[in-house]
Amino acid sequence: MRVLILSSHGHPTGCCLRGRYLTQALRQAGVDATMAPLLPCLPFLGDMALSLLPYTWKALAAPWDVVMAMKPFPNACLPAVLAGIRGAHFVVDVDDVDYAYRENALSRAIRILQKPFPAKADLVTVHNDPLVDHVLSEFHVERNRIYRLDQGVDLRIFTPSSTTSEPLKAWYRNRGIQEANPVLFYTAHLNVACDIEPILRIASRTLAFRKDCHFLLAGGGPLASHCKALCQRSLPEGRWHMTGTLSPEEVASHMQRASVCLVYYSPTQANTHRTSMKLREYLAMGKPVAANAVGDLASFQSFAELARDEEGVSEAAIRLLEGQGKERSQKAMAFVRETLDWSRIGEQFKHRLEEMLHEGKEGRP
């Protein structure tokens, strides 16, 4: 089985990471899976416009059994539809309510651009139940063509380590972070979806209580300069740090140094339909997590310290910095590593794709 995966967004967004992890998981399962080369994220969604022609060439230049678009945008979906001329099945992954991150003309444009494609797909994948309801109501896809493709963790990357490289130790020392200093950690692609303001308010409260604690913001993106300005205004000088854009392996290395990790979702339509990649990665590394109970986060009540609001998350972070919750973190790590390993998810998805190919294209819209 030959599978081509096309990411609607460029590197290093969550969309492309999900595609990358899925590609690797399918390969581990014995599938001939390829992810099309990615452009870096460009201003004004330029990576989406510039990827349409190379994606179309990639989709048509060779025979594929399946072409899968990560998000239902035209730059990935049009090549996938065209590949049907050569017999390919079209799969689309709906991992967000993308238009809900904005309230402007661009939001309306995103909704219009995405509208046609899921109904044309042989299979629509989602990673949580609210997205099932969204696909049913927004795109009018039959339930039997919706598949739950969970958000997993690449355990080859996000695995606890007892050692830290000398260059990384030097990176921390050069910023005044000693081994005895706890680190409050947050990672994100710094774009419209990162919801950074509440995270910085939580960090500010926590650092005001723990004078020895530093805050680390791991990641880069189009809003990096804006996030830096917010950090300068709201956090103590010399006790906040930004890494810039990192590979997943580099994120895992910094995560290893973290004392407590943060997640916070404001109660919006976009966030109630999200599934947190970072939360799963934190837990896979055995890290204590302070978060709020919005959307997907609420399902991890047994494994993370959840609170109702920003002040409560800060109080939870302080408790975790004081050493509470270690037993919960170990239980969480075991759960994630047993149930959310990408290799396990990829094997299950392989079987679903094989079923789809066996069924043929009867009943395709």
Residue 161 lies in a domain: no
Helices and strands (H and E) in the chain: how many: 15, 12
- Coil, helix or strand at residue 211: coil
Whether residue 223 is contained in a domain is answered as yes
CA torsion, ordered 342, 2, 42, 272, to nearest 10 deg:
-40
The CATH number given to whatever domain includes residue 191 is 3.40.50.2000
Between CA 263 and CA 268, with CA 264 as vertex, the angle to 5 degrees is 140
Domain contains 228: yes
Claim to verify: residue 101 and residue 211 sit in the same structural domain: no
* pLDDT at 267 > cutoff 60: yes
pLDDT band, residue 362 (cuts 50/70/90): low
Burial of 130 from C-beta contacts in 10 A (0-12 / 13-18 / 19+)? middle
Q: What is the DSSP letter of 73?
A: -
Dihedral angle over CA of 215, 241, 161, 279, nearest 10: 60
**Does 173 share its domain with 224?**
yes
Same domain, 60 and 107: yes
pLDDT digits (tens, 9 = 90+) for 20-41: 999 999 999 999 999 999 999 8
Taking only the tens place, the pLDDT of each residue in 278-326 is: 999 999 999 999 999 999 999 999 999 999 999 999 999 999 999 988 8
pLDDT per residue as tens digits for the range 134-158: 999 999 999 999 999 999 999 999 9
Same domain, 107 and 133: yes
Domain boundaries, position 246: 166-339
Shared-domain flag, residues 80 and 179: no
Domain match, 185 and 126 both:
no
352 with 220, same domain: the answer is no
| Neighbouring-strand partners of residue 90 | 67
Residues 86 and 213 in one domain: no
Within-domain flag for 256: yes
* pLDDT at 365 (0 to 100): 47
> Does residue 352 sit in the same domain as residue 288?
no
Whether residues 190 and 251 fall in one domain = yes
Query: What pTM did the predictor assign?
Result: 0.94
Kindly list the strands in the beta sheet with 289-292, ordered across the sheet, starting from the edge strand earlier in the chain. 240-242, 214-218, 183-187, 260-262, 289-292, 305-307
| Domain match, 314 and 221 both | yes
Tens of pLDDT, residue by residue over 4-16, are: 999 999 999 999 9
Residue 199 lies in a domain: yes
Report the domain count for the chain. 2
Task: Give dist(CA 221, CA 9) in Å, integer.
Answer: 12
The single-letter DSSP state of residue 321 is: H
Residue 324 lies in a domain: yes
Q: Mean pLDDT across the stretch 188-204?
A: 95
**Structural domain includes residue 7:** yes
Q: Please, which pLDDT band fits residue 363 given cuts at 50, 70 and 90?
A: very low
137 and 258 in a single domain? The answer is no
Examine residue 50 and state whether it is found in any structural domain, yes or no: yes
